[in-house]
A and B are shown apart, each in its own frame.
Chain A
């Protein structure tokens, strides 16, 4: 457990550093394309450091607004509030995460934040309607487990940074295309090399993002499932919750590629992929159910 927390914190640091380097190189390349000279490096570094700092401290807010979530109220979501309060006692976490609701028919949930003190658990209205008390308890337990072992910090940072890289390379691709049409190509060799490095990073950035998401997500899901069963002592309820969530036909409208890996189960409905492959963000339902059955 403590080793898990430490390794999650180290991984977050590594990812932030990689992010700063990647963003600096991309920005540097863009500045060079605009012929801004030596000041480019200063602009590139300062923007990348400021954005990574801002995304570290505001990742939860950014993710909640990307997912169109609203705060849960004590009156409206009494059952959920009670479940969370009881599970906080059972987990020994000490702080109660904030609760948010997404208006969507698909039952799903995620947790985010940079540490337990600034953590958030977010569930869809579909989850509240379709699951009974114990199943809901299993799902909230799963999210609480992600919070307790700092999976949320890593996944929040990855989500925000991957979104940022995707936006930036989109922007760049357009600038690059426009720039090429009107360029007179009399740059020196140094610039060409830098442009090549920039271009390589530009192609690699989305792939890096994808791999980072895959690496953090799948193994952690099994751990969160078993920790949830430890909190509730009721793996059967979590199994039936997972079955209900996976068999639901609705699409989660506010989910996108950069947030998909945070959810308890994949928010997309792709009929082709039944078994888990190296490209899926979540382990398959069968694998998770088997792992939970083995706990008994």
Chain B
């Protein structure tokens, strides 16, 4: 009789601890997604300034600039996380192109405002990469936790579902942005 009671109490305690552990991990995932969002928002705010600044100099790159502006607009209207991730990758690529071709415009490079924006943008890209890394780490920990036995039982009872990783389509995105710093 007593043994049965102790076993029941232990099981209940185990359920509570596992459930709380899963909730904590899920909160961390949500929080780290928020971190990415903060950095993406920062870049979102920087883009109009950048476009205004380079417009006068880059006569031949009108297409790229229009593309960046369009991507920015559709990013703001994007609903799902998957869609945002995809647009974010494209936006990173387009901004990288602008930075690369700016090397061909000496007047633009001499512009104080542009070099400040460039520095700011590099930092933001760097932070986006890091917040993405932190998000992916949190998601991996959470996804592992809900699949490992016996916690997986709790996870399926309370409907904890796996979260999606933030996959970077262009593997070199982060590295290229970072290499520029070495010259400072």
Binding site for B on A (CB under 8 A): 78-79, 82, 85-87, 89-92, 132-134, 231, 233
Report the Cα distance A231→B137, complex, angstroms. Answer: 10
Report the Cα distance A86→B130, complex, angstroms. Answer: 7
Asked if B2 CB lies within 8 Å of chain A CBs, one says: no
Query: Which of B31, B32, B134 has the most CB atoms of chain A within a 10 A radius of its CB?
Result: B134
Binding site for A on B (CB under 8 A): 28, 31-32, 35, 39, 119, 123, 126-127, 130-131, 133-134, 138, 178, 181-182, 184
A82-B123, A92-B32, A92-B35 known; A87+B182 contact, CB < 8 A? no
Asked if B127 and A133 make an inter-chain contact with CB atoms under 8 angstroms apart, the answer reads: no
Contacts of A85 in B (CB 8 A): 123, 127
Asked if B127 and A91 make an inter-chain contact with CB atoms under 8 angstroms apart, the answer reads: no
B124 vs chain A, min Cβ distance (A): 9
Asked if B39 and A89 make an inter-chain contact with CB atoms under 8 angstroms apart, the answer reads: yes
Asked if A132 and B134 make an inter-chain contact with CB atoms under 8 angstroms apart, the answer reads: no
Give the 3 A-B CB pairs with smallest separation, nearest first. Answer: A90-B130, A133-B181, A89-B130
Asked if B184 and A91 make an inter-chain contact with CB atoms under 8 angstroms apart, the answer reads: no
Contacts of B123 in A (CB 8 A): 82, 85-86
Query: Which of A85, A92, A231 has the most CB atoms of chain B within a 10 A radius of its CB?
Result: A92
Query: Which of B39, B130, B131 has the most CB atoms of chain A within a 10 A radius of its CB?
Result: B130
A92 vs chain B, min Cβ distance (A): 5
Select one of A89, A90, A134, A231 contacting B182, CB under 8 A: A134
Contacts of B130 in A (CB 8 A): 86-87, 89-90, 231
Contacts of A233 in B (CB 8 A): 133
A141 vs chain B, min Cβ distance (A): 11
Select one of B31, B35, B39, B184 contacting A79, CB under 8 A: B184
Asked if B131 and A89 make an inter-chain contact with CB atoms under 8 angstroms apart, the answer reads: yes
Asked if A89 and B184 make an inter-chain contact with CB atoms under 8 angstroms apart, the answer reads: no
Asked if A90 and B184 make an inter-chain contact with CB atoms under 8 angstroms apart, the answer reads: no
Query: Which of A86, A89, A134, A231 has the most CB atoms of chain B within a 10 A radius of its CB?
Result: A89
Report the Cα distance A87→B28, complex, angstroms. Answer: 17
